A and B are shown apart, each in its own frame.
Chain A
Amino acid sequence: MKKIFYILTIFLFKFNIAYSLIEVDITRGNLDPLPIAVSPLHVDLQSDNYQDVKIKELGELISSVVEKNFRSTGLFNPLNKDAFVQKPDIAHLKPRFEDWSLITAQALVTGKLLIKDEKLKIEFRLWDVAANKEMIALAFTTTPSNWRRVAHIISDKIYERLTGETGYFDTRIIYVSETGPRTQRVKKLAIMDQDGENTKYLTLGNELVLTPRFNPTNQLVTYLSYFRNLPRVYLLDIETGIQEVVGNFPGMTFAQDFRLMEKK
């Protein structure tokens, strides 16, 4: 009886060995850009043709815009498309995460587009390759000619989801473009996307234009232009193209600007 008691006590001690939880502090990581795979968007076969938009290339174009945006940030490293194993249509349904992690991708962007009844519908998904799960999925509908804007909005959404900061890709820059020889400079008011693409000229270049300013709240631009050698301030709506004169200001040398008026 005593023996059994001893044995039991020995066993009790033996199984009582408990290890405290090991804690390891990780205070450093690498600062390499995040490897991201942007798969070309799958074009739905039922898509209609729309004017001069090349529907078959649109998927590739949108993904390359997104890729270019990411590369410009320095925070992401878009991987070479040649290394992609899975086809875009299957990847959009359910990616084989093993294949994507093989090429060291940590995040994956897939998408699909469809043009129906003169409307372009683009949907995309962002996948966490390591965790094998979807992080964000959104769909946008717009006119087909507006595809570049959608590509920028998609970039914004992905950027926000991965870094926590709001994206800045859906930004347009208004500027004065200068062409021609030094003695006969032609200055035109122009607008472009933040990546330098999609340039549109807003004036013809007959008159000198200066100091374009964006309204921070809507799509209005104000600029100074010389009409018959008299400085005039114009207000231009980019969406509609309607231009109106704010007034003649002879001898005006300072730049006009929008100011938010405080409500009293």
Chain B
Amino acid sequence: MTRSLIYSLSFHAVLVLLTILSLPFMIRQPVDLPPIISVELIQISDDTNIPFAPKARKVIEKVKEEEKRVVSEQAPPAAKAKEKPDRIPLPKEQDEKKKLIKKKQNPEEIKPEIRQASEFEKKEIIDTNQIAALIDKAKEESAKVEKSEKKLTQSSIKNSFASGLTLSEEDALRAQIFGCWTVPLGLPYDDDLLVRIKLELKQDGTISKSEILDHERMNRPGQKFYKILAESALRAVRICQPLRVPQTGYKKWKDIQLNFNPTEMLKG
């Protein structure tokens, strides 16, 4: 009796085991869930943008002042330099000139060197007007180059640190408006056609208030093209609603100014 019971039990057990193994739904594996990647949304504009540090501003102002100084120093007497066209500066003189550039403010310091020269040479060298003119010319050229270079960097610095948006956020907004703005063709491109629109935005990017900053110019006679451009810009902003603004930092971009300038595009 007991033996048969054991047989039966073991047989049944084997059967149950086979059933479990063979039926697919019994061995269903748990869904393989990928691990959750946590993403933290942070405001990076504070870290990526050059801060409103007074230091940075000081540096820029300093550069600006220097630029002004260099420009104002430019002396016009180029005609004087032409008085002795046969005179070619020797390499030694050129060296001197380089030194002179550095110490231009007080030319007295170079006197000892001149004293060593012969009486004839002295006459020529002491013709400071000519040298000054040459130096100024050289300076003028270098200043021009410097000026154009600095302008570039300055504007880029200004862009990134004057705005509370990161570059990518700004680009997103810009790209959106590029798509909406149908530029009225046939505008005269030599005119100053900068339209500045100040917007007050809601949290979702829709516009609660829009204002053209030079709106009185629109109704002035002879400003027909400006009016048309301003209208097209305003239309673009309205069509683009809601604007692609960042999720955070509402206070920063609540008020925003858009400068529409088609000159670059019209010139091609």
Give chain A's interface residues, CB within 8 Å of chain B. Answer: 19-34, 75, 101, 106, 128, 130-131, 162-165
Binary flags per residue of B167-202, CB closer than 8 Å to A gives 1, else 0:
000100110011111111111000000000010000
Given contacts A22-B253, A24-B257, A24-B258, contact A163 B264 (CB under 8 A): no
Q: Are B235 and A29 in contact (CB under 8 A)?
A: no
**Chain A contacts for B255, CB-based, 8 A:** 21-22
**Chain B contacts for A131, CB-based, 8 A:** 231, 234-235, 238
Say yes or no for B236: interface residue by CB 8 A criterion: yes
When chains A and B are docked, how far (Å) is the Cα of A261 from the Cα of B128?
A: 64
Q: Are B185 and A26 in contact (CB under 8 A)?
A: no
Query: 28 pairs across A/B with beta carbons < 8 Å?
Result: A20-B164, A21-B198, A21-B256, A21-B257, A22-B162, A22-B165, A22-B253, A23-B163, A25-B259, A26-B178, A26-B233, A26-B259, A27-B262, A27-B265, A28-B178, A29-B177, A29-B178, A29-B181, A29-B236, A30-B180, A30-B183, A34-B182, A75-B185, A101-B239, A128-B231, A131-B231, A163-B186, A164-B186
Given contacts A21-B255, A23-B259, A162-B228, contact A28 B265 (CB under 8 A): yes
Among B174, B185, B236, the one with the most A-chain Cβ atoms within 10 Å of its Cβ is: B185
Closest to B237 in A: A130
Q: Are A20 and B182 in contact (CB under 8 A)?
A: no
Other A-B pairs, 4, CB within 8 Å; known A23-B162, A24-B165, A30-B181: A21-B198, A21-B257, A130-B238, A162-B228
Which single member of B159, B186, B252, B257 contacts A165 (CB below 8 Å)?
Answer: B186
When chains A and B are docked, how far (Å) is the Cα of A22 from the Cα of B264?
A: 21
Say yes or no for B12: interface residue by CB 8 A criterion: no
When chains A and B are docked, how far (Å) is the Cα of A19 from the Cα of B161?
A: 11
The B interface, classified by DSSP as helix, strand, loop or mixed, is helix
**Chain A contacts for B80, CB-based, 8 A:** none
**Chain A contacts for B262, CB-based, 8 A:** 27, 29
When chains A and B are docked, how far (Å) is the Cα of A26 from the Cα of B180?
A: 11
Q: Report B218 CB to chain A, min CB distance, Å.
A: 12
When chains A and B are docked, how far (Å) is the Cα of A82 from the Cα of B173?
A: 34
Q: Are B183 and A29 in contact (CB under 8 A)?
A: yes
Q: Report B222 CB to chain A, min CB distance, Å.
A: 11
Q: Are B185 and A163 in contact (CB under 8 A)?
A: yes
Among A32, A33, A106, A130, the one with the most B-chain Cβ atoms within 10 Å of its Cβ is: A130
The A interface, classified by DSSP as helix, strand, loop or mixed, is loop
Which single member of A20, A33, A165 contacts B162 (CB below 8 Å)?
Answer: A20
Closest to A33 in B: B182
When chains A and B are docked, how far (Å) is the Cα of A30 from the Cα of B251?
A: 30
Q: How many residues of B contact A (CB 8 A)?
A: 46
When chains A and B are docked, how far (Å) is the Cα of A130 from the Cα of B251?
A: 27
When chains A and B are docked, how far (Å) is the Cα of A4 from the Cα of B20?
A: 75
Given contacts A25-B261, A28-B178, contact A130 B185 (CB under 8 A): no
**Chain A contacts for B260, CB-based, 8 A:** 26
B197-248 contacts to A (CB < 8 Å) = 198, 224-225, 227-228, 231, 233-236, 238-239
When chains A and B are docked, how far (Å) is the Cα of A165 from the Cα of B224?
A: 9
Closest to B254 in A: A19
**Chain B contacts for A24, CB-based, 8 A:** 163, 165, 170, 173-174, 177, 256-259
When chains A and B are docked, how far (Å) is the Cα of A164 from the Cα of B218?
A: 12
When chains A and B are docked, how far (Å) is the Cα of A33 from the Cα of B224?
A: 20
Given contacts A22-B256, A30-B182, contact A164 B187 (CB under 8 A): yes
Q: Are A28 and B252 in contact (CB under 8 A)?
A: no
Given contacts A21-B255, A130-B235, contact A30 B224 (CB under 8 A): no
Q: Report B6 CB to chain A, min CB distance, Å.
A: 82
B7-21 contacts to A (CB < 8 Å) = none
Q: Are B184 and A32 in contact (CB under 8 A)?
A: no
**Chain B contacts for A25, CB-based, 8 A:** 159, 174, 259, 261
**Chain B contacts for A30, CB-based, 8 A:** 178-183
Nearest 8 A/B pairs, CB to CB: A29-B181, A29-B183, A130-B235, A130-B238, A164-B228, A164-B225, A22-B163, A23-B257
**Chain A contacts for B52, CB-based, 8 A:** 20
Q: Report B161 CB to chain A, min CB distance, Å.
A: 9
Q: Report B3 CB to chain A, min CB distance, Å.
A: 87
**Chain A contacts for B227, CB-based, 8 A:** 164
